Amino acid sequence: MTNSPLAHRLEGFGASIFAEMTALAVQTGAINLGQGFPDYDGPPEVLRIAQEQIALGNNQYPPGIGVADLRQAVSVHQKRFWGLEYDPNSEILITVGASEAIAASLLGLLNDGDEVVVFEPLFDTYAGLTSLGGAVLKPVTLRPQPDGRYTFDETELAQAFSSKTRVILLNSPHNPTGTVFTTEELSIIARQAIERDLIVISDEVYEHLVFDNAVHVPIATLPGMHERTITISSGGKSFNVTGWKIGWACAPAHLVNAVRMAKQLFTFAGGTPFQVAITAGLRLPDEYFSTLAADLQEKRDMLTNALSAAGFVPIKPEGTYFITADISNRWPHLNSLEFCQQLPHACGVVAIPASVLYHPTHATEGTHLVRFAFCKQLSTIHEASERLVNWK
């Protein structure tokens, strides 16, 4: 075979930066603040239920749409935290992580030549999946305001739409900038969606990880949006079990059906014992969710201060467990990829170059931005902070 066997639709997409940077951390023994996964475990009662379920023999396929009790728990969770109502039998689909929910939403909805409006920097799978769906990504760049917070320009957003736009793919709280979109910002997006009769795929995996006075608002709660929004989340971030990959999509039945048509071709279903355990997680008291955010906030503050002291200009995130920081004050001669390749050797810490989270034609937007994950034990964040501050 002389030519590359890779499908044209996957040309130009490199290997996952998260895998690459974690491999670098393993190879160098550096502290891994790159890929976003906790170095601590989920709630003991949730872990115990998964172990019990395996021991009890609950190890065969779950129903294609997910374990009934989990769909019930997702429905109650959406009502309890956000006031959103979904019928557990027809409007909720359990998926293999939020990743599969996003993939199945895009591939279940998109036709050749459709356009997908998305904010960048963006989560890495969005671009490749849009291409797999035969569609075209229309990125709108988030930029820092005078106070350092990243947001979009309303005119630039309006210019991203055309008669071919089919979907808006939204992520709030936003990875990697940490912006939690306000009701005003969401209203601007919603107005476009309603006027143009679009579908919104809303990736809300960090829904419980918000700090200070920031409030997470699901776009489906805005007037006219419930009927056109697929709201996606996952147990990975809320229960510190990223390897379990139990996610869900909530939407009116006709939209969930489209997602399910694609999803059944990917994995059909998976993770039976973990679905039962996440059910218990979703039923934990409010205090569990508020403590989760409060613990992370302390780590955010420690790492933000250390990054400032080390000569970075960090964006203090309103949500998620990532801090994106500008390196150009102290390292103007390095781009973020070079910087992240050198950082483990020079200082014993791993980060993610944010430049790869931009559309290839906009990569210069992120030339000086790197992302650090702070979902680590306080002692890990403390040690990483010491290394960064004392780095000569």
For ligand GLN, the closer CB: 289 or 322: 322
For ligand GLN, the closer CB: 225 or 352: 352
Shortest Å, Cβ 96 to ligand PMP:
7
Beta-sheet strand order (sheet of 313-314): 313-314, 322-326, 369-373, 352-353
Residues 243-272 that bind ligand PMP (CB under 6 A): 245, 247
Burial (CB count within 10 angstroms: exposed 0-12, middle 13-18, buried 19+), residue 139: buried
Residues 152-191 that bind ligand PMP (CB under 6 A): 171, 175
Q: Does 23 bind ligand GLN (CB under 6 A)?
A: no
Q: Does 267 bind ligand GLN (CB under 6 A)?
A: no
From ligand GLN, ligand PMP, none, which one binds at residue 66 (CB under 5 to 8 Å depending on kind)?
Answer: none
Per the structure block, which two tokens stand in for 213? 């006075």
Q: Does 20 bind ligand GLN (CB under 6 A)?
A: no
From ligand GLN, ligand PMP, none, which one binds at residue 98 (CB under 5 to 8 Å depending on kind)?
Answer: ligand PMP
CA–CA separation, 176 and 119 (whole Å): 11
For ligand GLN, the closer CB: 35 or 105: 35
Residues 114-143 that bind ligand PMP (CB under 6 A): 123
* Among residues 108, 133, 236, 344, the one that binds ligand PMP under rule CB under 6 A: 236
Residues 158-197 that bind ligand GLN (CB under 6 A): 175
Residue 138 is classified by DSSP as E
Q: Does 324 bind ligand PMP (CB under 6 A)?
A: no
Beta-sheet strand order (sheet of 199-203): 92-96, 246-250, 229-234, 199-203, 165-171, 115-120, 136-141
From ligand GLN, ligand PMP, none, which one binds at residue 240 (CB under 5 to 8 Å depending on kind)?
Answer: none
* Among residues 9, 13, 16, 196, the one that binds ligand GLN under rule CB under 6 A: 16
In contact, 334 and 375? CB cutoff 8 Å: no
Q: Does 18 bind ligand GLN (CB under 6 A)?
A: yes
Q: Nearest to residue 189, comparing CAs of 113, 86, 119, 109?
A: 119
Of 74-82, 139-147, 241-249, 255-263, which part binds ligand PMP (CB under 6 A)? 241-249
CA–CA separation, 28 and 196 (whole Å): 50
Strand partners, 96: 246
Q: Does 233 bind ligand GLN (CB under 6 A)?
A: no
Residues 6+ apart with CB under 8 A from 87: 75, 253
Query: Residue 298: helix, strand or coil by DSSP?
Result: helix
For ligand PMP, the closer CB: 175 or 272: 175
- Going from the C-alpha of 262 to that of each of 60, 336, 374, the distances in angstroms are 21, 36, 34
CA–CA separation, 335 and 130 (whole Å): 27
Residues 6+ apart with CB under 8 A from 1: none
From ligand PMP, ligand GLN, none, which one binds at residue 247 (CB under 5 to 8 Å depending on kind)?
Answer: ligand PMP
Q: Which residue is nearest to ligand GLN (CB)?
A: 36
Residues that bind ligand GLN (CB under 6 A): 16, 18, 35-36, 175
